[in-house]
């Protein structure tokens, strides 16, 4: 099942399959270490705040708007 990163719940894992957006957005996300094929693990997801997740051993926080543009295959 392919879903946006913003819809994952704490404790869920997934693999990045696509990044939707323009060149600048994609460059920013890739510079954070988020690339297709990499596994993400969600730690926290606040209703009115950021989603906190691990990518390659690094803890990251991202707003829901950005996270909605990163498509994940749930594991």
- pLDDT per residue over 16-57, tens digit each? 999 999 999 999 999 999 999 999 999 999 888 899 999 989
Distance set, CA 14 to CA 23, 24, 74 (Å): 23, 24, 4
Q: How far apart are CA 72 and CA 75, in angstroms?
A: 9
DSSP string, 18-37: EE-S-HHHHHHHHHTT--TT
Q: Is the CB of residue 51 less than 8 Å from the CB of residue 44?
A: yes
pLDDT value at residue 48: 84
Domains present along the chain, CATH in parentheses: 2-74 (2.30.30.90)
pLDDT value at residue 67: 95
Give the strand pairing for 39-45 and 13-19. antiparallel
pLDDT value at residue 65: 92
Phi, psi of 27 (to 5 degrees): -60, -40
pLDDT value at residue 16: 97
């Amino acid at each position: 099942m392919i879903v946006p990163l913003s819809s994952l719940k704490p404790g869920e894992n997934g693999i990045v399959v696509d990044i939707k957006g323009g060149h600048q957005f994609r460059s920013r996300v890739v510079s954070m270490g988020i690339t297709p094929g990499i596994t993400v693990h969600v730690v926290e997801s606040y209703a009115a705040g950021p989603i906190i997740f691990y990518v390659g051993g690094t803890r990251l926080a991202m707003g829901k708007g950005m996270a909605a543009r990163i498509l994940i295959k749930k594991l």
